[in-house]
Structure 1
Amino acid sequence: MAKRPNKAIRRYLKRHGHDVPEASTLPAPHPDLRASVVIPAYDELDNIGRVIASLEQASETPEVFEVIVVVNNARDAAADKVEANRKTIAMLRDLQTPFALHVVDRSRPEQAYDPEDAGVGLARREGADLALERLLSVGRGADGLMPCLDGDSPVAPGYIDGLIAEFDAYPDMLAGVCRYRHPVPDEGEHARAIAAYEAWMRYWEAAMVLTGSPYAFQSIGSCMVLSARGYALADGMPTLQALSDFYVLEKVIKAGGPGAVRQLGAPLVYPSARPSGRVPRGTGPSVRMQMETGTTRFEMAEPPGVFFALGSLFDAVQEGFRNPEALRDAVDSSGAYAPILAKLLQEYLDEIDAWPTFAKLRDNAPTAAHFARHFHTWFDNLKVVKFANVAKRSRGGVWIFDAVRDVYAALGLTQVATKIPRVGPDEADVAAWRELLDVLRDAELAVHLSM
């Protein structure tokens, strides 16, 4: 079993791996290394110390993990950001930690990134490629892990030990997603913004579980844990300025099939809730947008009928291998839930040439299981997002409190659904938003056990 992962990793490093000079200058990894934590950091002088401190309680045997921090900026970054990064590097190098802590300097002018390429994706890619080489060097190609954190997202005690235990329990898992809690501030406007964003994320995840899609997981960079072999099979981290986590997890699913990515039960991360414009998409800019513009983007969710209609289609995939009309019948029958959304789905499938594509996939699949995998490889997470956006533009959004209630009830989590506050947009105060988050957080794992 170990040889095949090692072969895939070596092939990846040879064909796609970044040449990271630090690979030859850092101290050799501990022989017991199992996990190499990768943290991209840009202008995190005030935050990264808390992240490193939280990792001191991550394992009872600190030699099993190390931390690689890639402090980075573009060559044309503002002088104050470069100076903050310089101080960050100096502070990190002065720390005494029970685990090995390595700093990769991509801040100085001769090492900083090209402005067109700079961003969290490139920094995470370099750190992960370095981590991969180090895990391979101690024979951990088959079971090595690369947890991905951010410079402002600390973890709960036992984080590393929990990861190792769960990956050992599910050896076929290629990646995992940790539980998470955004800190909710006391200030009302900020609290509402982050609560709406997290509630929407949990709504989307539950709705995707309802559809039966293999892409039913969160894509939060600081909650992502990649196995060494999963990372190699997915051809590494996309070097994007945003959404690299979304795309790499999607690639892991396509490489490994359903079940390749799992919700983890124990490890817990606290992603930052601060409004930020450092990256074009993600938590920071989403919170900032809500606070600055008063938008209801995350308070008014994609209609639940979107996911009822998709669920009807996805449920028919296996039968659709034997009976090509089963997929069309499933789309038509989804009108029993939401007639207008069923019509929109029919139009969307026509627009993306789904029917001739399904026919080709069927012709090239030897079994129903192969057809189902090919189907979801093509009808991926991005296509679901695009259809949901089409439906929301056409039909309007649904108040998030009502949307989550409908989806959780459809999942059979009726006790959860009944606990969701019955308030409207003008009635929801900070206490109601906190209550909603508490309910959804308590049901975090139950969502994945419901289907």
Structure 2
Amino acid sequence: MFASRYLKKNNNKALIQQSPTNNTGIIIVIPCFREPQILDTLNSLKHCQPPKSNVEVIVLINHAETASEEIRKFNAQTKQQIEEWIPENNTEKITFFAVGPVELRKKWAGAGLARKSGMDEAVRRFNEVNKPNGILVSLDADTLVQNNYLVEIENYFSSHPETPGATIAFTHQTEGLKGKHLEGIRLYEKYMGYYKKALKYTGYPYPMFTVGSAFAVTAGAYVKRGGMNRRQAGEDFYFLQNLAPIGPVGEITTTKVFPSARLSDRVPFGTGPILRKWMDGKEDLTQTYNFEAFADLKDFFDVKDQLFLIEKQDYKLFLMKLPLPVGNFLVEDNFWEEIRDLNQNCSSLQSFQTRFFQKFNAFKILKFLNFSHEHFYSKASLDVQIEKLKKSR
């Protein structure tokens, strides 16, 4: 079986006793922590057009081992609520499971471990029917989906068998929002679009939206990348960026998910905390990374091939020809050690080109942007930077 070694290594124990059907092709994983609107999400899935394969939905109700009695009671009520809903809503094509409440270890408790626990269970079930091309779908408990959601996910992976995963188009829910809250979510979506397009402009090969409620991955690729990480926030970002080097992560644009735009401080970063800071006047979403910093990166990436088999003395001369923010960052980051490692392990320019962006990845880009804005640039008008990007392409 394709995932047996992974499951043994992760000490995976079955959370669902009922075996999957051989026709199970999609398993949707929904972490659920203190979620009052979970039935809205489940009803949204129930009303989807049925795909050819069978679908399972795993709602992983969870809390930390140190959770308060109030949270435990809320989650227990959620479990009961879903279990009362399930018998009337399971069909031949879609089966819902309420798992938990699962207690997560204090050290790791959070969105990452909850998502990992659910996705590992989905992998275990696909392993049971030996289906490495089974599709794991990540969704959130406050997110609605379009009617063609299941069909389009199935169609995409069927017509792109080489892809290990895909992001799914999204638009945040705005019904009932007004004033500064509505302005905030619109600015945040505009920023996300700018950031993705600016990354593409630099020549970075893996620009993508990384939203926990809006991606899917094959079970085989999930296992190959070592599964979901246990980060308390940003687990989606890290997982998708680590997935990209093994194959093209696609974009499903023929359907949409609709995440909540609620205010939240339950995780360190993401939509909820950013909107909370915006509402409290601690974050200015009208300002963003200066486009000049992305232009500097493009200048660097355009000449990166010169680093193949470069000697240290020539590397120092190479740095002097780069935009000052990039040159200073590479010194500060001691990037020479990573270049030396690349050149010791790459026998051709082609392998160097591929592996270069495993070193200068999305995390390092973010590190550079923060460095350059600390020492060289100031954040600037989002609308102005978008216009600069448009004119430069």
TM-score by length of 1: 0.80
Q: 1:138 maps to what in 2?
A: 129
Distance 2:314 2:221 in 1: 34
| Whole-angstrom CA distance in 1 between matches of 2:236 and 2:341 | 30
Aligned to 2:341: 360
Other-structure match for 1:321? 308
TM superposition shift of 1:392 = 2.1
Q: Which amino acid aligns with 1:369?
A: Q
Partner of 1:21: 14
Contact 1:313 1:331 in 2 (8 A): no
The CA deviation string for residues 321-361 of structure 1, in whole angstroms up to 9 with x for no partner, is 37779988887666xxxxxxx21110001111223422331
Say whether residues 1:102 and 2:84 are aligned partners: no
> Counterpart of 1:288?
276
Contact 1:302 1:391 in 2 (8 A): no
CA distance in 1 between counterparts of 2:63 and 2:226 reads 24
More strand by share: 2
1:215 to 203, 206, 209: 206
Q: Cα–Cα, structure 1 residues 121 and 222, in superposed 2: closer, same or farther, change >3 Å?
A: same
- Aligned partners of 2:165 and 2:218 also within 8 Å: yes
What letter matches 1:77 in structure 2? A
**Deviation digits for residues 127-176 of structure 1 (CA, Å, limit 9, x no counterpart):** 101100111222311x1110100000111111111111111222121111
Give 5+ residue unaligned stretches, structure 1.
1-5, 335-341, 412-451
Per the alignment, residue 171 of structure 1 pairs with: 161
Instruction: Map Cα deviations across residues 210-258 of structure 1 (whole Å, 9 max, x no partner).
Output: 112133111110012121111111111111111111111122124x05x
Distance 2:389 2:95 in 1: 44
Cα distance in 2, alignment partners of residues 35 and 229 from structure 1: 13
Structure 1 CA distance for aligned equivalents of residues 234 and 378 of structure 2: 25
**Cα shift readout 1:15-47 (whole Å, capped 9, x = no counterpart):** 2x3423324x2x2112211111000001112x1
Say whether the 8 Å CA contact 1:40–1:124 is kept in structure 2. Answer: yes
Q: 1:268 to 1:343 in 2, by over 3 A?
A: same
> Alpha carbons of 1:288 and 1:276: their partners in 2 closer, same or farther (altered >3 Å)?
same
Paired residues in the alignment total: 385
Alignment partner of 2:15: what SS? helix
Q: CA deviation at 1:380?
A: 1.1
Moved more, 143-152 or 245-254: 245-254
Between 83-92 and 183-192, the greater mean CA deviation after superposition: 183-192
1:286-435 map, 5 Å: 286-296=274-284, 298-318=285-305, 320-321=307-308, 342-394=323-375, 395-411=377-393
* Structure-2 separation of matches of 1:67 and 1:310: 42
Distance (whole Å) between structure 2 residues aligned to residue 233 and residue 132 of structure 1: 12
Structure 2 residue identity aligned to 1:198:
E
Q: Which moved further from structure 2: 207-216 or 269-278? A: 207-216
Aligned counterpart in structure 1 of residue 108 of structure 2, from 108, 117, 125: 117
Shift of 1:199: 1.4
- Quote the sequence identity (%): 26
Cα 1:104–1:186 change in 2 (3 A) is closer
Paired residue secondary structure (1:293): coil
Pairing 1:158–2:148 present: yes
Separation (CA, whole Å) in 1 of partners of 2:56 and 2:355: 37
Match of 2:5 in 1: 11
* Number of the residue aligned with 1:82: 72
- Which 5+ residue runs of structure 2 have no aligned equivalent? none
Matched-pair contact (CA < 8 Å) for 1:222–1:269: yes
User: Quick one: which amino acid aligns to residue 264 of structure 2?
Assistant: S
RMSD: 2.2
